[in-house]
A and B are shown apart, each in its own frame.
Chain A
């Protein structure tokens, strides 16, 4: 069954990974041409116009976009976090629900396999794909950065792992939500909405101390890229919280799915 699951989910994995790679490849290729001394001067002037809170929201107070690595640390990583968030959310919401949506569940349920084993197979394959997405894209960026200039290797490796701490909770939350639904078309809005709401809350929380509490409602808080850039270390508290959220929602999904009316 695992083999079948890998095959079924391979296409969407390749599509999402390609989207990331193509966009970043374009950035790496054109970056040397757009960042010249003149454009850098104008960019610096432009940055002064933005309030520091806004720059902080995009890590631009910590990293200058005068190099590809600087761009990656600020805007680039935001982009990676959003894309991996969307991918893992959509995977979570469709990996099990697809069987109901396509009505193949009636066949699958007739096979001698426990419901919990069906779920386990699907979760294992999904998590492997999420990890593969982060690792393969991390390697791609690593190689690209090696070609385009000098960078802090340890800092980069730690940074490239952070999307996992966002992707896994997004996956498990969406998996849990999907156990209440019967059609995948309803889940696309929920998956995207959850990612963008989380992202907006994360940005807003950086803008003012008055709304800082919003960060507690955002999954993106778990990808503590600022800590990696400032201290060259991963915030272990965030990692633990991320894993706990993931485990809770996966466990809840097992409980719900075992009782679910599948038709």
Chain B
């Protein structure tokens, strides 16, 4: 069952491009990694879904119907964590949670208590006294407290320490098991690879690649390290991207597949050959070349 579908979403601020063409589909229970460098259009896409900014063209569907982000009944089903959490400084965390609860037509206090315990939040603290990480944790509770069907997280781990990142990922996996659909935006591919089922890469406002995480990991990309007196000739002939180079040893990013590579290397005098899996971060960088 498709929970969120975005078709050819475009957003321009006057002549300035926000996003050019974003299309994606999230099935029930998906954790979708929305990956891209800063300024690629992740937050613009998310803010358009949330109705904070108006789309130029394209369509957004939630549960099969055109999304009216101003409809309170729809909003009750969506949880949102912005990349930068800004809350009411004069309130305590407890007052803010009470205020948050007052907007929902159901009792959400039980989930609040669970999340506060899991994320180790001190409810008596004032919002203005919270560190960036603790503010983020409060934002996470606010986005999850009402058990949304669709959870939209924009850079959720920024400011969180590794232990809290792990806790958050465990919470997300539990949410997935309950059937929550999650759109998880990040600029760190390795961060989302452990929790996401599907990844969409966005570049300059366009989704450039979308696939299941296991397929992305299986891509032809490998590291190739060669020790040879013919290094300069190999470098010239193979025309691969050089990752590292020292003396007679060179490390390439190989994207032509191993069989093809072996065939090509047969013509050279090779002392040492090492083929390794590429890191997700290098893969990520490679997509954005």
Residues of A within 8 A of B (CB): 1, 4, 7-8, 102-107, 109-115, 258-259, 261-263
Contacts and interface: CB of A to CB of B under 8 A. Distances in A.
B53 A263 contact: yes
Nearest to B142: A107
B25 interface: no
Interface string B83-116: 0111111100000000110111000000000000
Given A111-B75, A113-B72, A114-B72, A102 B86 contact: yes
Interface of B: 47, 50-54, 70-73, 75-76, 78-80, 82, 84-90, 99-100, 102-104, 139, 142-143
A111 to B, nearest CB: 5
Contacts of A106: 50, 52, 80, 82, 84, 86
Contacts, number: 63
Nearest to A7: B90
A112 B50 contact: no
Contacts of B104: 112
B51 A109 contact: yes
B75 A112 contact: yes
A261 B52 contact: yes
A262 B86 CA distance: 14
B86 A107 contact: yes
A115 B72 CA distance: 10
26 contacts: A4-B88, A8-B90, A103-B84, A104-B86, A104-B87, A105-B52, A106-B52, A106-B80, A106-B86, A107-B86, A107-B139, A110-B75, A110-B78, A110-B82, A111-B75, A111-B100, A112-B103, A113-B72, A113-B75, A113-B103, A258-B70, A259-B54, A261-B52, A262-B52, A263-B47, A263-B53
Contacts of A104: 86-88
Contacts of A8: 90
